[in-house]
Amino acid sequence: MTARRHHLDAAAMAILGLLCLLWGLQQVSIKLANEGVTPILQAGIRSGGATLLLWIWMTVRGQKLFEPDASLKPGLIAGLLFGVEFLFIYWGLSYTTASRSIIFIYTAPFVVALGAQIFLPHEKLKPMQLAGLGCAFAGIVTAFADGLFLPSAPMLLGDLFALIGALLWGATTILVKASVLARIAPAKTLFYQLAVSALILPPASLLMGEAGITHLTPLIVGCLLFQTVIVAFASYLAWFWLVAHYPAPRLASFTFLTPLFGLAAGGLVLDEPITPLLILALCLVASGIWLVNRPQGGKA
């Protein structure tokens, strides 16, 4: 049985903080690797490598993949959602900037919050928590406000793709929580998603006429390894463990930190400007997270 927790404890918040940092860096690594590996193939390489690593990890730990637990159908659906999600996210980064993309991707918590009201009756958000989500989103909008004006047509297309990715991400989280996937080993849940996406993304790259691998440098190889080993394998395994143990809307709200890490990484690595708006955004996001996760009943 999976132990249920109704609030984020210190350990969960520490893990989430690290995951948000890694996911913020991922956007920069995708843009850097795009210089030598086309985006959809890049996503397929990431999923394929992470699938192999996860299979080895589960084998060493003695975890079974092919036992009858009624998880096959929802697992395949989750894998399809996951694969198409990253097809749009990686594809969108070919048209828009990492800073613009990340604000639209991280509308996913609103999809989770809305879905929780329908499919997860024990995880409904209180009015104060909904206000916290709004506060955190205001922080993200503030951080990227000057990037939302006068976009070019290709940028709008990239923004739309990022929004589609966010919708699919939120739908995947709800599916995991509302189905048998929440009661099986998190590693198996992740395996479904990585394996299915590894099967569909390389053919999608071919069908879309991508050039594939045009050239490789140590930096590009390092970015691919980071996405494969650190993000798609280690960080997603940790994320699905959290999804199985903690309320989905509160986990999703915490991921508002990721765009701030992404903006900082963009400034340091890609020379994107970091303005004083980032400080205001950080205050808004921190306030939103506190409102969403504050204990009920007046306790500190």
- pLDDT by residue (tens digit) across 161-215? 998 998 998 899 889 888 898 888 888 989 999 999 999 999 999 999 999 999 9
Q: What is the pLDDT of residue 254?
A: 75
Identify the pLDDT of residue 273: 65
Question: In the prediction, which pLDDT does 267 show?
Answer: 79
Helices 39-60 and 236-245 meet at what angle, rounded to 10?
70
Q: Where are the domains of the chain?
A: 10-293
CA distance 38 to 211: 7
In this predicted model, what pLDDT tens digit does every residue of 96-152 receive, in sequence order? 888 778 877 877 777 777 777 777 766 667 787 788 778 878 877 876 676 566 566
What local confidence, expressed as pLDDT, does residue 83 receive? 95
Q: What is the pLDDT of residue 248?
A: 64
Give the long-range contacts of residues 80-84, CB within 8 A, separation 24 or more. Answer: 80/196, 80/200, 81/168, 81/171, 81/172, 81/175, 81/193, 82/168, 82/172, 82/193, 82/194, 82/196, 82/197, 83/47, 83/193, 83/196, 83/197, 83/199, 83/200, 83/201, 84/168, 84/200
Q: How confident is the model at residue 69 (pLDDT cuts 50, 70, 90)?
A: confident
Please report the pLDDT score of residue 278 as a whole number: 64
Average pLDDT over residues 234-256: 78
Q: Mean pLDDT across the stretch 233-253?
A: 79
Strand partners, 225: none
The answer to whether 37 and 211 have CB atoms below 8 angstroms apart is: no
Find out whether 261 and 24 touch, Cβ atoms under 8 Å: yes
The dihedral sign for the CA sequence 179, 182, 136, 292:
positive
Residue 260, C-beta contacts closer than 8 angstroms, at least 6 positions apart: 24, 139, 140, 143, 278, 281, 282, 285
Higher-confidence residue of 64 and 252: namely: 64
* 249-282 burial: b if 16+ Cβ within 10 Å, else e: bbbbbbbbbbbbbbbbbbbeeeebeeeebbeebb
pLDDT-derived band at 22, boundaries 50, 70, 90? very high
Is the pLDDT score of 35 beyond 60?
yes
